[in-house]
Structure 1
Amino acid sequence: MMALVRRDQAMLNYAEQSVFVDALLELKRRGIYDGYIRQHSQIGYNGHMGPAFLPWHREFLRRFEQDLQKVTPGLAVPYWDWTTDSSPYASIWSDHLMGGNGRDGDRKVTTGRFAFDVGKWVCLKIDIATNYLTRELGVHIGSLPTAQNVADCLQTTPYDSEPWDTTSNPSFRNQLEGWIGPNIHNRVHEWVGGHMRPLSSPNDPVFWLHHANIDRLWAQWQYEHPDQIYQPQHGAPQGQNEPDAMDPWFGNTTIASTLNHQALGYIYDTEWPAAQGDRMLPGDTLVADQYLISENGAYTFTYQKNGNLVLYRNDNNAELWASGTEGKSPGVCIMQPDGDLAVYDADSNRVWHTNTGSQKNRASRFYVQYDGHASIYRPDSTLVWRKPDTTT
């Protein structure tokens, strides 16, 4: 079974954004969503300001994602990379996804489908004064975490250290969550402001995209530091040690059970996911002998063991197009986020590309089409690149 892929929200097209928002609204309609707001607001130290912060939120997010999948099978929570989409006008705040900033005065969100007057999104009044969603982008703190902030945090070891708090140890967890250094996690909550500030912060659905990014950074830290283990193993307050069960789930849901995110069934688009079906989304890859097939089963696009990309007809094996890179040691074919499809050899040298990488082509996708074309389209369906040049 293929792993679920959590993707950068900036790489989603309008249809994918709409599917995600539809599922959020349906969980709200069913009364399931508000249960997550209550749970988060009540968890206290068991899920915040201590070592269990990252495991607890990984499980919290995973369970929420599973509920989304009961509405839309296969749906993954996207993540918000606030080091790149860092302004009040970034893609995440479009009407198609999260909606925009709050208006002057009462900070009421009036755009997008989570606006009270548009989608009837009613906030749960826990530690907040209004039942309509509010935001104050950049008011309480002037900037979001930077790429350098994140890079510095990812270099920090160990995972955590005594006295397991938020002010006195320069551990990775504390750099990411607490008040040491750039205050990455908390800084984002403060920057968004409004209903993202109190513990009832899931009232703002951007909460999930923020925490997916926090989880992604923990996964990256784990990959970059395979010699580092979760700390504490024992001796800390109950609910913080690796063998401990986590409140409110208990049972077999322990901190230890969360430590391998891939074993939980998902990966991120920054982890080189294998392309599936008839397309390659940003970040997707093909390695030697992997292939895509058009929806009608008539055409195959494959990265061969000889290093060549080939498109051919399945009924007669006729070659329709090839990259001309045979003889190059096979490495990986990548659909890059900037819209460039590229092939790299085993030494990471680029040996071929479509030369379509640009800001205007960002988030483009590659398709093997039912008519025998290998094509790249922008999210707005503008054709960027196509081979062969004639209809087959």
Structure 2
Amino acid sequence: MHVSIIPDDLRHYANTTGTEISQNPDFRRTNSFSPTPSEINFFTMLASVSNILTASLFAVAAVGSNIYRAESDSYGGDEVDALSAAGLAKLKEWTSSNPPAGNCTLENAVIRREWSAFSRQERLDYIDAVLCLQKKPPTTPTSIIPGVRSRYDDFVGTHINQTLFIHSTGNFLGWHRYYVWTYEQALRTECDYQGHQPYWNWGKYALDPVNSPLFDGSDESLSGDGSYFEHTPVGVPGAPPPFDVIVPGNGGGCVTSGPFKDMVVALGPIAGTLDGVTANPTPDGLSYNPRCLRRDISENAAVSTRTNATVSLLTTHDNISDFQDYMQGVFAQGILGVHGGGHFTIGGDPGGDFFTSPGDPAFWLHHANIDRIWWIWQNQDLATRQNAIAGQTHMTGDGVPTTLEDDQFFQVNAKVPKLKDLLTTLGGAGGEFCYIYQ
């Protein structure tokens, strides 16, 4: 089953005017960042439809509806951990007869841990490395991405360029696995970070994310919520009432606390969901558009990331097609999914724009957990799930079927691996991957 997150009106628009896109699924996936006129129109349409949706739904939210809120979490915080431990035991048995490529073993694999498991010093070290990357000059020439100003922006630009091919497609999980890994390697090799990429266990904090160790605004957090800025709700395309809106939180303005309070966001917006954000000088979002980091941390969206939602995802979908679709959200059924739920827990700008969302440093912990959940799911039945893929190559559903031989593009950040090389964390990527989760 393939579920597109693009509403019908945008699918029709892309089909009828985006001939380069629909006729050539690999269009614009290589190292060129230059958009076609049809893609610029598509980006503009995405943003305008988002604004129309949010404006038209403002009256619904204004009455104080809090449709996503949950009063309690029916699962304990270790239910997913139990599935992880069971999967790890299966992985150990599997590798005894299917050894990983290269020199990787289960015994020497790096262990990625949750943010709350980091000591204060480990958190500060990670934050320092991210700030370092934001200060380093870019590798991408401004002739290709005019707005790039830092090494961090290189990663944001790559995501913008690849967005239509890495969401609601068969490339979603594998591409983002390598993307997070390349970011982790940049922190380590370019900013002398000695640790490894942390993840955000959504369920731990789903009932009160703004006071979590990730977003409490302390010097060892990823900064806090934005200041209060009155804004319209986020529309959820294609979702039935009452699931068609995410009610605004208490933020929406510039982040004013924590280590990223002075961060300058350079690229985007393209398909932003927040009012009052200065438009990018060009519709492709690649021109320089300096502004503050804004957030609207949402308990309403966080409900979709509760532990029971993750357990359900892991235990009720035994094929990759359903698993990845429900992970990303089936909006027509009122399901935001843990992927959408995590992004809209952060919200704001650039976090609420699915093109530019890596511009918020919390993105990387969110997608590390996306990778972790996929890893746990794979480990439950490695013989069937290790190399399982499904879906097409374009998010409108108008590409060609994804194959294991498909190239995955990362521009200046990495080489061009094939999808088949990104399906295991032990020996994947030509032996470069060697990590597990705890």
TM over 0.5: yes
Letter in 2 for 1:197: G
Q: Distance in 1 between matches of 2:300 and 2:311?
A: 24
Contact preservation (8 Å) 1:40, 1:202: yes
TM-score (normalised: structure 2) = 0.55
For residues 41 and 80 of structure 1, the distance between their equivalents in structure 2, rounded to whole angstroms, comes to: 23
Does structure 1 residue 126 correspond to structure 2 residue 276? no
The number of equivalent residue pairs is 256
Q: 2:329 aligns with which of 178, 184, 195?
A: 178
Residue aligning to 1:99? 223
1:20-51 deviations in Å (ceiling 9; x for gaps): 00000010100210111111122123111111
Higher helix proportion: 2
Post-superposition offset of 1:251: 6.4
Cα distance in 2 between the residues matched to 1:72 and 1:85: 30
Quick one: distance in 1 between partners of 2:265 and 2:188? Answer: 22
Partner of residue 367 from structure 2, selected from 211, 221, 240: 211
Q: Which amino acid aligns with 2:256?
A: T
Find the counterpart in structure 2 of residue 254 from structure 1.
418
Q: Matches of 1:251 and 1:126 in 2, distance apart?
A: 25
Q: 1:316 is matched with which residue?
A: none
| 2:318 aligned residue | 157
Counterpart AA for 2:360: D
Inter-partner Cα distance in structure 1 for 2:436 and 2:124? 20
Amino acid at match of 1:65: E
- Give the share of equivalent positions with the same residue, in percent: 23
Over aligned residues, Cα RMSD in angstroms? Answer: 2.4
> Which amino acid letter does the alignment assign opposite residue 114 of structure 1?
F
Structure 1 consecutive aligned stretches of length 4 or more whose deviation exceeds 6 Å:
233-236
Q: Distance in 1 between matches of 2:390 and 2:342?
A: 26
Which residue does the alignment assign to 2:120? 14
Q: Could you tell me which amino acid in structure 2 is paired with residue 126 of structure 1?
A: G
Change (3 A) 1:239 1:9: farther
Larger RCO (CA within 8 A; separation ≥ 6): 2
Q: Given the two structures, how large is their TM-score scaled by the length of structure 1?
A: 0.61
Residue aligning to 1:108: 254
1:344 is aligned to none
Contact 1:77 1:209 in 2 (8 A): yes
Give 1:110's aligned amino acid: T
Give me the whole-angstrom Cα distance separating, in 1, the residues matched to 2:212 and 2:371: 21
Amino acid at match of 2:264: V
| CA–CA distance in structure 1, aligned partners of residues 416 and 187 of structure 2 | 22
Write the distance in 1 (CA, Å) between the matches of 2:197 and 2:363.
Answer: 11
Instruction: Give the secondary structure class of the aligned counterpart of 2:167.
Output: coil
Structure 2 CA distance for aligned equivalents of residues 152 and 102 of structure 1: 32
In structure 1, give the amino acid aligned to 2:114. Answer: D
Kindly indicate whether residue 212 of structure 2 is the aligned counterpart of residue 66 of structure 1. Answer: no
CA distance in 1, matches of 2:400, 2:194: 35
Q: Secondary structure at the match of 1:43?
A: helix
Residues 1:52 and 2:213 aligned together: no
Unaligned runs of 5+ in 1: 161-170, 271-392
The verdict on how the C-alpha distance between 1:53 and 1:92 changes in structure 2, with shifts beyond 3 A counting, is same
Amino acid at match of 1:231: I
Distance of aligned partners of 1:141 and 1:205 in 2 relative to their CA distance in 1, 3 Å threshold: same
Q: Is it true that 1:78 corresponds to 2:198 in the alignment?
A: yes
Maintained 8 Å contact 2:223/2:260: yes
Structure number with the higher strand fraction is 1
The separation in 1 between residues aligned to 2:391 and 2:421, in whole angstroms, is 13
- Tell which structure's C-alpha radius of gyration is larger: 1
- The amino acid across from 2:338 in the alignment is I
Structure 2 residues without counterparts, runs of 5 or longer:
1-103, 137-149, 230-251, 279-290
Give the Å deviation of 1:142. 6.0
- Aligned partner of residue 37 in structure 1, secondary structure: helix
